[in-house]
């Protein structure tokens, strides 16, 4: 008789390597994205999955519950945003060294990738397939005083399920290299056939072999 497997849990203790890839196809026929581009240095990320739920009543009790996935709010604090970062996040024009903003700017549909470190030294690699940073960004400025204060940038967006199933994958991995994680074919990595209990699910967590 085989011994039961032991689940080892380690807390998150890091965040790094934020990448963005422009989505070039997102329909029922397929999904593709461009080459990932490394963005600003990551400081903090808040990822909030949103669901709605409604209880169904019958025979004086709860019969069941309807639950629907609404989307995922992303709040990302980075060290600073270069002009090229703003063009990628917000769809602003960057021409001849000038950043041009207009009321007609439209945030492009992008995929967002990052990796988080655990206390055991291993990393979780995350790709969120589809979203837009259309909720703007926060910038703070402060005059220089005797004690200098460095400022940061915060960008906000909303991500959602792509047309071809799943909202994101998270790889619990020990062997993937950073190059393999961010190469142009990253979006072709899929978890394979879904277990029966997860078919039609909005998202899936992938655990590659060690």
CA separation for the pair 159, 110 (Å, rounded): 9
**What is the DSSP pairing of strand 98-100 with strand 61-78?**
unpaired
Displacement of CA 193 from its chain's centroid (Å): 22
pLDDT tens, N- to C-terminus, the chain (210 residues): 566 777 767 888 889 889 988 898 888 888 888 888 888 899 999 999 888 889 999 988 998 988 888 889 999 999 988 888 888 888 888 888 888 888 888 888 999 988 888 888 888 888 888 899 887 777 778 888 888 888 888 999 999 888 876 655 555 544 343 434 555 455 555 444 444 433 333 333 333 333
Bridge-based pairing state of the strands 93-95 and 98-100 = antiparallel
**pTM summary value:** 0.74
Length of the chain: 210
């Amino acid at each position: 008789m085989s011994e039961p497997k032991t689940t080892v849990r380690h807390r998150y203790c890091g965040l790094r390597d934020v990448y963005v890839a422009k989505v070039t196809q997102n329909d029922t026929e397929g999904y593709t994205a461009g080459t990932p581009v490394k963005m600003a240095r990551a400081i903090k990320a808040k990822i909030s999955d949103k669901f709605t739920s409604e209880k169904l009543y019958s025979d004086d009790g709860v019969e069941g519950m309807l639950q629907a996935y609404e989307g995922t709010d992303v709040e990302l604090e980075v060290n600073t945003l270069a002009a090229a970062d703003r063009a990628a996040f917000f769809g602003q024009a960057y021409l001849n060294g000038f950043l041009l903003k207009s009321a007609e700017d439209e945030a492009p549909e992008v995929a967002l990738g990052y990796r988080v470190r655990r206390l055991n030294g291993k990393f979780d690699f995350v790709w969120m397939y589809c979203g837009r940073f259309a909720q703007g960004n926060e910038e703070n400025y402060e005059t220089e005083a005797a004690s200098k204060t460095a400022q940061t940038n915060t960008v906000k967006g909303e991500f959602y399920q792509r047309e071809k199933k799943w909202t994101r994958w998270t790889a619990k991995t020990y062997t993937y290299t950073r190059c393999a994680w961010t190469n142009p074919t990253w979006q072709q990595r899929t978890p394979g056939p879904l277990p029966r209990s997860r078919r039609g699910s909005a998202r899936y967590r992938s655990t590659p072999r060690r």
